[in-house]
């Protein structure tokens, strides 16, 4: 199914109902009934809407921002029912989210489409930019707070120059059960059984001293389980944005962390009774075996190419509860990958980001449905260069990934 056909199909169905060609009994909200008959579109999009100072994104959105307009245009064209936005700076007052919705999504944008309204949202604090009080990069200083030194980001729980940088935001057309949502911001990395503790290759000793390792958080941002009440039942959106497996040294601390951040979802799906996996409210355990879910986010790991421990994402793709056979594709990814001429093991048409001629294109962004869901269609919004819609995709180095689903 092409995403441009969805509104037309819904309109045709409505016309048939009104003309009497289809007999149905609609009680309550007719629009809700139509939504229940339409596949649910779930998407993830790394928007690159972040700033290096607290409140910077708010000021950009207040003054009018071309990148935010382009991001909104992409969303207006694809029109997901539920979308996770990565790299959208968090602020406790939700001012940035309000501005983005009212001044961008709810206003037709150049290159976009009709206004797009999301009645429901979920956002929560993340680890990026939050001072740890520890010397995490082992340079002899434990930086924190407002310091004129970019290195302070290395000593935050997750790399960032202010609390909330590179945050996450879930937008939904359907109600979100915020009271039942679970966040795993403070789970200790050392609590994970078999954690990949980074080691100093020169000495083969643990890279982090015991007093640091025992406190270090696993999630570089956070891991969220956000239940969304759709017309066909509850869908758990499992949202995260693991650290890139680069920007470190021979100890590979970011590569190891990326692996275990991805592995957290495998553990969450495998062991409902996991006593080490405790959320920020103190409730322990994984996702019930009968729950419908999608894993969404920029996971910063390609199954075949680029940096990182590929076993992490491969294991998640092959998890018994995950439909890893879903591989959204685009023509734009294939064309751009070919233009770089880099050797690639994986299928370049599945790639979701363009990182320039030195790195090339990679598949880093995922919407992975549970096997309990029926997949109707899937894609990456990446038109071929010089085609309609190509310009608005350049607001971010990532592209939006979507999957159309039906709940049983």
* 368-379 pLDDT, tens digit each: 999 999 999 999
So what's the pLDDT on residue 19? 35
Residue 103 CA: distances (Å) to CA of 109, 159, 282: 10, 30, 38
| pTM of the shown model | 0.90
Structure tokens at 154: 């290395």
Residue 126 CA: distances (Å) to CA of 130, 133, 287, 310: 8, 16, 21, 25
Q: How far is Cα 378 from Cα 400, in angstroms, rounded to an integer?
A: 11
Structure tokens at 301: 């790991």
- What CATH number has the domain spanning 39-128+164-406? 3.60.10.10
Q: Domain locations in the chain?
A: 1-38, 39-128+164-406
So what's the pLDDT on residue 4? 38
So what's the pLDDT on residue 146? 47
So what's the pLDDT on residue 13? 37
So what's the pLDDT on residue 149? 60
pLDDT digits (tens, 9 = 90+) for 295-346: 999 999 999 999 999 999 999 999 999 999 999 999 999 999 999 999 999 9
Residues β-bridged to residue 188: 217
So what's the pLDDT on residue 152? 74
* Segment-wise mean pLDDT, segments of 10 residues, the chain, 408 residues: 41 37 39 68 98 97 98 98 98 98 98 97 97 91 60 90 97 98 98 97 95 98 98 97 95 97 98 95 97 98 96 97 97 96 95 96 98 98 92 96 97
Q: Which residues contact 295 (CB under 8 A, 6 or more apart)?
A: 238, 265, 316, 322, 366, 367, 368
So what's the pLDDT on residue 150? 64
So what's the pLDDT on residue 144? 57
């Amino acid at each position: 199914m092409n995403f441009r056909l969805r509104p037309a199909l819904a309109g045709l169905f409505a016309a048939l109902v009104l003309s009497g060609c289809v007999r149905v009994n609609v009680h309550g909200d007719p629009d809700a009934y139509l939504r229940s008959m339409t596949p649910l579109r779930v998407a993830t999009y790394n928007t690159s809407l972040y700033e290096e100072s607290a409140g910077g994104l708010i000021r950009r959105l207040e003054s009018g921002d071309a990148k935010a307009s382009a991001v909104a245009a992409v969303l207006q064209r694809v029109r997901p029912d539920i979308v996770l936005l990565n790299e959208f700076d968090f602020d406790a007052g939700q001012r940035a989210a309000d501005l983005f919705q009212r001044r961008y999504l709810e206003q037709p944008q150049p290159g976009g489409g009709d206004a797009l309204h999301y009645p429901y949202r979920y956002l929560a604090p993340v680890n990026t930019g939050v001072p740890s009080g520890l010397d995490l990069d082992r340079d002899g200083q434990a930086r924190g707070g407002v310091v004129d030194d970019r290195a302070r980001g290395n000593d935050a729980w997750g790399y960032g120059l202010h609390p909330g940088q590179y945050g996450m935001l879930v937008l939904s057309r359907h109600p979100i059960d915020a009271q039942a949502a679970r966040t795993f911001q403070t789970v200790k990395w050392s609590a994970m059984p078999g954690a990949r503790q980074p080691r100093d290759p020169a000495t083969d000793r643990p890279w982090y001293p015991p007093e640091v390792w025992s406190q270090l958080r696993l999630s570089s941002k956070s891991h969220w389980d956000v239940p969304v009440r759709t017309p066909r039942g509850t869908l758990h959106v499992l949202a995260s944005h693991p650290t890139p497996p680069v920007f470190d040294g021979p100890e590979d601390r970011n590569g190891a962390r990326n692996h275990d951040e991805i592995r957290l979802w495998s553990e969450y799906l495998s062991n409902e009774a996991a006593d080490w996996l405790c959320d920020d409210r103190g409730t322990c355990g994984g996702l019930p075996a009968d729950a419908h879910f999608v894993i969404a986010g920029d996971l910063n790991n390609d199954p075949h190419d680029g940096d990182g421990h590929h076993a992490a994402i491969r294991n998640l793709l092959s998890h018994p509860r995950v439909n890893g056979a879903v591989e959204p594709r685009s023509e734009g990814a294939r064309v751009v990958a070919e233009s770089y001429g880099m050797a690639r093991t994986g299928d370049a048409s599945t790639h979701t980001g363009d990182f320039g001629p030195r790195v090339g294109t990679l598949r880093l962004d995922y919407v992975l449905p549970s096997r309990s869901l029926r997949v109707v269609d899937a894609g990456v919004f990446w038109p071929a260069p010089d085609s309609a819609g190509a310009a608005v995709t350049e607001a971010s180095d990532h592209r939006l990934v979507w999957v159309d689903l039906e709940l049983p």
